[in-house]
Chain A
Amino acid sequence: MQARSRDYRIRAREILSGAPEVRDAVTRATRTFDTHRVGAFEQIDAERWRAWAEAVKSHLLMNLDDYLVEAEARLQENGAVVHWAERSSDVHEILGRIVEAEGVERVVKGKSMLSEELGVNDFLESGNVRVSETDLGEYVIQLLGEPPSHIVGPAIHRSVDDIRRLFHEELGTSLDADPDTLASAARDALRADFLAADMGITGGNFLVAETGTLALIENEGNIRISTSAPRIHVALVGIEKLLPRLSDLAGFLQLTSRAATGQPVGNFVSLIHGPRRGDEVDGPEQVHVILVDNGRTELLADEHAWEALRCVRCGACLNICPVFRQTGGHPYGWAYSGPIGSVLAPGLLGLEASDPLPFASSLCGACSEVCPVRIPIHELLLTWRERMVRNGSAGPFEKTAMRAFRALSARPGLFARAGRALGVVPDGLARRLPVLGAWSAVRAPLRPSPKSFRALWREGIE
């Protein structure tokens, strides 16, 4: 996809002033997701799970070459075809070859952010292949011609009324249909697509090197059907999605589900090893796994920012983020939004294309506190800000603020005290302080809250 991150400010303003209902819908949905995560984390020793998961993913990444070779060998032994793609054009070429050789006319898809990143739908449709998104939320936004607004809930920015009107036009349901009726209409339309499709395309939550197990988590069953009914299954897997061992998968399936939706595990998990065998009555005749780089090796080489590659795409940092909650994911302008999108974007797209995403944050640090693989997201946001400032793409206010903030945030205790202290700084003094002075020179005096933002956010502000 063509990233449009540079328009972040314009598009955020458009949503906030032109479509205030988006803010309400996104805030409600993300708060629900986060409440479920909190409940699910309370049932486990979450700190121990997070530390474990961080270590597994870091170990994996620091030995990625060996694990990639091992995964490839296991997949091939299981009868799957393994492809390697350096960039999106390679993925298009591989898909084009399969479509051509197998006479593929219709494709059903499971939700895959990597497929958004790679522009797979546009490519296939340009070759006259009919593509149906089958996740209910993805189906809604495909009909609307919109990109996903959230990694886990792609249509969270749309209300029931929006979807009623859409399905009335597209599927002929009544304008007062209830959600069950709407879902049932989508089910009927998509069931026909499942049974007619030549190929199913999915992403991959995890790929276990030890066994060649491709794992996919979901709740609707559309991924299970996409990988079971069509005669060809193609999985797009980022090279960072590997896990060393099958026993690791047991932890990651549960931790990811708890972080994403608060479930012990998603209602459906597919563990795929290869095409159907001689004694089986159904299943795909071909399974293709495309291992995708698309900037990931460059990010791996970055001695600070590589940690973002541990991401399991649970969306927990989006759900807790006070900035994401105002607009949803659209202003971020590419597949991954919110805090994690803002640290992946500079790494995968480059500094120029991703400015000003790292600045779209209050740096409250809530993202880092909820991350199931302990990516220091807010520190990486600062790292990218610094690099953008050095690169000359940030304004003078950001440059001054950066230096002060870096000094404070390097010492969490001092940061917390500074936050509390701001609440009691007299106006006269505030004008003479750096940063606060710069602010006050052209604005009414700041009236800091008696409680710091960190304190309020922990308590759950409305």
Chain B
Amino acid sequence: MSREAILARVRAALEGRADVAHPTTFESWGRETQADPVEDFALLFAAAGGEVVRLETVAEARAWLADFRAAFVGVVVGQTVPDGLDLGLAVQRALPEEAALGISLARGAIAETGSLILDARDGRRVQLLPPTHVVLLARSTMHRTMADAFEAVSGDLGSAIGLHSGPSKSADIGQILVKGVHGPGRVVALIVEEELA
């Protein structure tokens, strides 16, 4: 059987070899950060081609979303987006493969890489198929480092997590940057100071 054969060959290969100790935990040595991790996130997310909107309250977020989504025909909303944002009945529902706009809730974000943490329980297609993607994020879920973020989610990893750090892009055609190749070509991180739930 392949399993036993491979493990036996690994063990034979390692027979009498000196071990190497696992080093200290990774600490992003030398990376300079700002006092407010949201500033780091916003800089990197924008540099990668994303857009950042910062709002204070849930009421402001509700109003911003109502205004923003009016321009789109067909909207799909993630399963974990809180009811309080009032997206339920007002939204013209569409299937993810037909919607012009997808709206998701992030589990959290990572300042040092400018990444949104998206969970499969929100729905995967809503995060990937519409050309524009708006992701809601409560400021309290911002992590300074990727290591911190992984530690925070490690107790409940679910079936899949996506880290989205900007729009879909490619330079495969003559090194010229194009956006929206497969996933969303436009992605907006909507960061709200208040809790969203």
Contacts and interface: CB of A to CB of B under 8 A. Distances in A.
Given A62-B17, A282-B125, A246 B28 contact: no
Interface in A301-323: 301, 303, 306
Contact of B3 (A84, A140, A251, A254): A84
Contacts of A265: 113-115, 146, 163, 165
A29 to B, nearest CB: 5
Interface in B111-159: 112-115, 120-121, 123-125, 127-129, 145-147, 149-151, 154, 157-159
Given A55-B21, A55-B22, A86-B2, A264 B44 contact: yes
A281 interface: yes
Contacts of A128: none
* Interface-central residue, A49, A55, A221, A301, by most chain B CB under 10 Å: A221
A85 B157 contact: no
Looking at chain B's contact residues, the main secondary structure is loop
B6 A291 contact: yes
A297 interface: yes
B181 A45 contact: no
A179 interface: yes
A72 B168 CA distance: 32
Given A182-B173, A249-B150, A268-B165, A56 B23 contact: yes
Given A55-B22, A64-B14, A254 B183 contact: no
Contact of A155 (B14, B115, B172): B172
Interface in B40-89: 44, 48-49, 79
Interface size class of A (residues with CB under 8 A): 35 or more
Contacts, number: 263
A183 B115 contact: no
A140 B172 contact: yes
Given A90-B2, A136-B170, A211-B157, 8 more contacts: A84-B2, A183-B181, A224-B124, A229-B128, A268-B168, A275-B159, A281-B79, A282-B125
A137 B176 CA distance: 12
Given A55-B23, A265-B115, A271-B157, A219 B170 contact: yes
B157 A45 contact: no
16 contacts: A48-B29, A55-B21, A55-B23, A56-B23, A59-B23, A136-B170, A156-B175, A179-B174, A191-B182, A221-B182, A225-B129, A228-B124, A247-B147, A283-B160, A297-B9, A300-B13
A227 B160 contact: yes
Contacts of A303: 17
A130 interface: no
B159 A264 contact: no
Contacts of A222: 181-183
A186 B49 CA distance: 21
A229 B125 contact: yes
Given A211-B157, A225-B128, A267-B166, A179 B182 contact: no
B182 A190 contact: yes
Interface in A187-244: 187, 190-191, 194-195, 211, 213, 219-222, 224-225, 227-229, 239, 244
Interface of B: 1-3, 5-7, 9-14, 17-26, 28-32, 44, 48-49, 79, 96-97, 112-115, 120-121, 123-125, 127-129, 145-147, 149-151, 154, 157-176, 178, 180-184
Given A68-B7, A136-B172, A59 B22 contact: yes
B63 to A, nearest CB: 28
A52 B171 CA distance: 31
Given A187-B182, A263-B48, A251 B26 contact: yes
Contacts of B20: 55, 58-59, 62
B12 to A, nearest CB: 7
A65 B182 contact: no
A273 interface: yes
A267 B147 contact: no
A179 B173 contact: yes
Contacts of B164: 267-268
A391 B128 CA distance: 53
A449 interface: no
Contact of B14 (A163, A247, A300): A300
A300 B114 contact: no
Nearest to B157: A273
